[in-house]
């Protein structure tokens, strides 16, 4: 956590602050980023404020990532997770600046998630898995295609769904690609990969391959379980290599 920020932060119990600001401060100071909370805890912290649930929705519009079981499959039905704090709305000037945008923003996150079928557009991981598959713990986030700092907007077209891993990965590479560099890479692909890419482009998403699904499930096994799978796979690949070389 940024020390500088926490120095400037007012006390969430200060009733002179608006309830939205107080909820934001409560989330940061009492719950903390990366921790879960329930609606009951929220109601207990703000007794008598009947519209307190609405404050959560508003914070989401200010870029606060507050996940529920809809976006994070391992959460319980009444559980929520403060995945990431957004705009420091307690800072003077912030509230007015954002307020007029609120009317165009509601359900934007929902729209983006629905359009992207609740899956990461980069790796295809989804929080909504089929009934026969083990649930996979996926954190879905929204990301800007063109970053806000580079003049990007909060419009639907400029927002994509990414899993937290891909989001971190992609935002660490600051440079934006251009058409030539993308085309150079595409030209160098094998015909099969080019056809695969074309299919992804047509679908506007990359569904996970069976191997990627297996990898994602494998990564969620306990160490001794991983060893077991690794051992069996090693044996299978080795057997096949032996069979090929004896042909």
The torsion angles phi and psi of 66, rounded to 5 degrees, stand at: -115, 105
Instruction: Enumerate residues 6+ apart whose C-beta is below 8 A from 94.
Output: 87, 88
Residue closer to Zn ion, measured from CB, 80 or 136? 136
Q: Give the shortest CB-96-to-Zn ion separation in angstroms.
A: 36
Asked if 40 and 46 count as a contact pair (C-beta separation under 8 A), the reply is: no
Residue closer to Zn ion, measured from CB, 31 or 136? 136
Task: Tell me how far the alpha carbon of residue 133 is from its chain's centroid.
Answer: 21
Q: Give the shortest CB-139-to-Zn ion separation in angstroms.
A: 9
CA distances from 131 to 127, 128, 142, 206, 218 (A): 12, 9, 25, 20, 18
Residue closer to Zn ion, measured from CB, 24 or 125? 125
Q: Give the shortest CB-221-to-Zn ion separation in angstroms.
A: 19
Task: Tell which residue, 138, 6, 154, has the closest CA to residue 67.
Answer: 138
Residue closer to Zn ion, measured from CB, 66 or 163? 163
Q: Give the shortest CB-60-to-Zn ion separation in angstroms.
A: 20
Q: Give the shortest CB-3-to-Zn ion separation in angstroms.
A: 31
Pairing of strands 159-163, 140-144: antiparallel
Residue ranges binding Zn ion (CB under 5 A):
120, 122-123, 125, 163, 166
Residue closer to Zn ion, measured from CB, 80 or 125? 125
């Amino acid at each position: 956590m940024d020390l500088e920020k926490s120095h400037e932060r007012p006390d969430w119990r200060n009733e002179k602050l608006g309830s939205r600001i107080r909820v934001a401060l409560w989330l940061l100071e009492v719950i903390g980023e990366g921790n879960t909370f329930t609606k009951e805890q929220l109601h207990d912290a703000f007794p008598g404020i009947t519209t307190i649930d609405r404050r959560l929705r508003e914070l989401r519009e200010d870029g606060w990532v507050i996940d529920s079981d809809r976006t994070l499959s391992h959460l319980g039905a009444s559980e929520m997770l403060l995945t990431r704090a957004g705009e420091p709305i307690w800072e003077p000037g912030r509230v007015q600046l954002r307020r007029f945008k609120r009317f165009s923003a509601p359900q934007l996150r929902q729209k983006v998630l629905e359009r992207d079928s609740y899956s990461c557009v980069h790796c295809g991981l989804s929080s909504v898995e089929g009934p026969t598959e083990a649930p996979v713990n996926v954190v879905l986030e929204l990301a800007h295609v063109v970053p806000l700092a580079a003049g990007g907007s909060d419009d639907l077209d400029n927002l994509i769904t990414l899993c937290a891993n891909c989001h971190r990965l992609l935002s660490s590479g600051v440079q934006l690609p251009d058409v030539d560099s993308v085309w150079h890479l595409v030209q160098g692909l094998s015909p099969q990969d080019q056809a695969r890419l074309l299919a992804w482009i047509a679908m506007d998403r990359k569904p996970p391959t069976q191997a990627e699904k297996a990898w994602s499930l494998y990564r969620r096994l306990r160490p001794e379980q991983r060893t077991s799978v690794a051992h069996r796979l090693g044996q299978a690949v080795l057997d096949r290599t032996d069979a090929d070389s004896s042909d």
